[in-house]
Amino acid sequence: MAITTTTLATIAAARHRRGRRRRAILAGLVLLIAGMLALTLMLGQSFTPPGQVIRVLAGQEVPGASFTVRQLRLPRAVLSVLAGFCFGMGGVAFQIMLRNPLASPDIIGISSGASAAAVFAIVVLGISGPAVPILAVAAGLGVALAIYGLSFRGGVAGTRLILIGIGVAAMLHSFIAYTLSRAPAWDLQQALRWLTGSVNGAQLGQALPLLAVLALAGGVLLSRSRDLEALRMGEDTAAALGVRVGPTRTLVIACAVGMIAVATAITGPISFVAFLSGPIAARIMGSGGSLLLPSALVGAALVLVGDYCGQFLMPGRYPVGVVTGALGAPYLIYLIVRVNRAGGSL
Amino acid sequence: MTARAGAMPGRRAARNTLALAAVVLLVALLCALSVAIGTRDVGWDDIAAALAGRAETIGQAASAARLPRTALAFLAGAALGLSGALLQGVTRNPLADPGILGINMGAALAVVVGVAWFSITSAQAYIWAAILGAGLTAVFVYVIGSLGRGGATPLKLALAGAATSVAFASLVIAVVLPRGDIAGGIQSWQVGGVGGATFVRLAPVLPFLATGFAISLLWARKLNALALGDDLAAGLGENVARTRAIAGLGAILLCGATTAVCGPIGFVGLVVPHFCRLLVGTDHRWLLPFSALAGAGLLLASDILGRILARPGELDVGIVTAFVGAPFFIWIVRRQRLREL
């Protein structure tokens, strides 16, 4: 009896410690994002003192600062954060569900589907504005559905889903490359947005669809985080724990695809953010606890930092996707090596 | 491997010879069609005149311009089909393909880096850069994919290849973006096509392809031993590592050189060996030459299709093969009992 009590006490203490650690790390991530936001708003080609930034944000007209902060820096920063949230959370949901960190939406073709639809809409159909994200979401969902349906053969095996996704992604990539190379008034910046992702020319209005999808799909995902955690231990274990695997899977796919597709339609498929956020979050959080929120925060931090580096810290100006892609490459190598050694879990 | 183990029943050999004749005939027909079909219709007499070296009428000139293109499609298709068969034999992996494994993208990155940073211009240098990039990427992806439990499973190799492709694609853009002068050319090169070929541009790549073809055909017998599994092959007195290295080198020469000239063309190396296995079985001494021929046939057919579908313009062959090949890839994945990671 005495032993049981001490064991329980130890477990409770450990859980308490973990909870505290988790909150501390989350707070740290939020601080990092806030810091990056402040930096983005204050320091660009020119320096705007914090007092002026606050006055502009409060709605006052400050000569020399209003335009830069309100029209250029604020939309960019807001869009970076929101898109980062979407990529981070959508990506990690896939990685947890398929139990393979390499099975992120940017590798198995979901982002490519959204991207291909956007390119097709802009270049071939010549449409722009709100119809483009809608089309991209539809295409992202369509591709996800197609991959899911094609890999269905008496149940969906994760392996089959990933491999079919890779095949579909390869096909879509060649379609995107071809459509862009044939665009009549071929614009490199526009093209690069759809190949690597960028927040150039951001407008505050574009944040609305992102906010909506975050509230809707993100909310559903967060409310299902327990089921997702159970799925992380394998389908059989999850079923034994009382999770209805099929419906949960469908719901998670729908939400994650929605987030990824909306973000892709607005910023382009920012390379590797969906792919890197989850593993990075897993590394800094340690074991236990849902990865959805930490991963979303890491995603936002990645996009903010990547965009800032691409804008100001490099020779020439690069879109954020090029920076995250290049930064992601070495981490990817490390990750593949480590994951393969461990046998595939996040 | 002794000669006895390699002997095959006479009926099989006869059937294979028949199939070989059929494929040769088909490829010859496709070559003829490739010269005949295009934006401008030309008569057979014009084609005959063009083959004889005359280019007096517009029809003759058009046919003459299509000759090097046909030759390039034939060579590139043969090289890609063969390199796919070699890669599948070396890795014993049904999904091995220069595109899926990221080898094409490695070659592309090396060429782009060479152009941008080392200002290479000669065709020879392009090819060397592409082969170097292809080789390094192949080794890299294979090593990464075979780490951990279970060695190089199809899933791990495909994931390592896909992830490497994405990373390299970003790096290509990072290198190209500040250099507007080369961006356009590289963008269109990345789709993969055989249009605009001339015999002069074709010449430098021939020695590389010839070496690749020679290696693969000489090494076919050893690949048969490899198919039995490493332990058994070693037990039969085969130097497994050396066989793998040399056959892999052949595959890299072939797909690297092809990528340097045509840009990355996906899925030919994946589809063709599977199709040929259905025709002639798994003996590499038949499979490899067949894969080369069928690869040539597939690329010629895709190129012709691209010209018919998008008249009066044309579709690059890379997009046609992608749309023909990806469904096939999915079919293979669905058919196979793939091992879970």
Q: What is the pLDDT of residues B220-274, one digit of tens each?
A: 888 887 777 777 887 887 787 888 888 888 988 998 888 888 888 888 888 888 8
The total of other beta-carbon atoms located within 10 Å of residue B55's CB is 15
**Closest residue, chain B, to A329 (C-alpha):** B167
**What is the arithmetic mean of pLDDT over B36-53?**
71
For B88, B97, B110, B153, B213, the CA distances from B92, given in Å and listed in that order, are 5, 12, 27, 9, 20
Q: Which of A163, A100, A96 is nearest to A335 (CA)?
A: A100
Question: Which residue in the set A159, A178, A325 is minimally distant from B167, CB to CB?
Answer: A325
- Rounded Cα distance between B40 and B54, Å, is 17
Q: What is the pLDDT of residues A167-220, one digit of tens each?
A: 888 888 888 878 877 766 556 666 666 777 777 777 787 888 888 888 888 889
Q: Which pLDDT belongs to residue A86?
A: 93
- Pick from A10-19, A20-29, B40-49, B290-299: least confident: B40-49
The CATH H-level superfamily of A2-342 is ABC transporter involved in vitamin B12 uptake, BtuC (1.10.3470.10)
Q: What angle do CA A236, A238, A244 make, to 5 degrees?
A: 100
Q: Is residue B149 scored above 80 in pLDDT?
A: no
Q: Which pLDDT belongs to residue A20?
A: 84
Class of domain B8-53+83-335: mainly alpha
The rounded percent of chain B whose pLDDT value lies above 70 is 88
Q: What is the pLDDT of residues B301-332, one digit of tens each?
A: 998 888 888 777 778 888 888 888 888 888 87
Q: What is the DSSP letter of B179?
A: -
Q: Which of B37, B26, B97, B16 is nearest to B293 (CA)?
A: B26
Q: Which pLDDT belongs to residue B12?
A: 75
Q: Which pLDDT belongs to residue A82?
A: 93
- Rounded Cα distance between B223 and B233, Å, is 9
Residues 6+ apart with CB under 8 A from B173: A192, A195, A196, A321, A322, A325
Q: How far is A127 from chain B (nearest CA, A)?
A: 22
Q: How far is A266 from chain B (nearest CA, A)?
A: 19
Token pair 């190129």: residue:
B303
**What is the arithmetic mean of pLDDT over A117-137?**
80
User: What is chain A's mean pLDDT, rounded?
Assistant: 81
Q: Is residue A87 scored above 90 in pLDDT?
A: yes
Q: Which pLDDT belongs to residue A189?
A: 61
Q: Which pLDDT belongs to residue B5?
A: 43
- Pick from A24-28, A77-81, A159-163, B334-338: least confident: B334-338
Question: Which residue in the set B159, B173, B184 is minimally distant from A195, CB to CB?
Answer: B173
Token pair 């046609």: residue:
B320
Q: How far is B41 from chain A (nearest CA, A)?
A: 24
| Residue B3's pLDDT band (cuts 50, 70, 90) | very low
Burial of B120 (0-12, 13-18, 19+ CB in 10 A): middle
Q: Which pLDDT belongs to residue B2?
A: 40
- Stronger pLDDT, B26 or A61, i.e. the higher one: B26
Q: Which pLDDT belongs to residue B341?
A: 31
* Whether B179 contacts B118, CB under 8 Å: no
Cβ within 8 Å of B, A 85-114: 100, 102-103, 106-107
| Residue B340's pLDDT band (cuts 50, 70, 90) | very low
- Stronger pLDDT, A307 or A71, i.e. the higher one: A307
Residues 6+ apart with CB under 8 A from A114: A136, A137, A139, A140, A143, A260, A261, A264, A265, A269
**What is the arithmetic mean of pLDDT over A284-294?**
81
- Rounded Cα distance between B126 and B107, Å, is 10
Token pair 């401008």: residue:
B40
Of A289-298, A314-323, B114-123, the range with the highest mean pLDDT is A289-298
The domain ranges of chain B are 8-53+83-335
Q: Which pLDDT belongs to residue B78?
A: 93
Q: What is the pLDDT of residues A213-252, one digit of tens each?
A: 888 888 898 888 888 888 877 777 888 887 787 788 888 8
A167 interfaces chain B, CB cutoff of 8 Å: yes
Compute CA A264 distance to the chain's CA centroid, rounded to the nearest angstrom.
Answer: 9
Interface test with A, best of B155, B168, B188 (most A CBs within 10 A): B155
Q: Which pLDDT belongs to residue B299?
A: 92
The rounded percent of chain B whose pLDDT value lies above 90 is 9
Question: Which residue in the set A102, A174, A196 is minimally distant from B191, CB to CB?
Answer: A174
Q: How far is B53 from chain A (nearest CA, A)?
A: 34
* Whether A197 contacts A186, CB under 8 Å: no
B333–A164: do the CB atoms touch at under 8 Å? yes
Interface test with B, best of A151, A162, A163 (most B CBs within 10 A): A163
Q: How far is A318 from chain B (nearest CA, A)?
A: 7
B159–A102: do the CB atoms touch at under 8 Å? yes
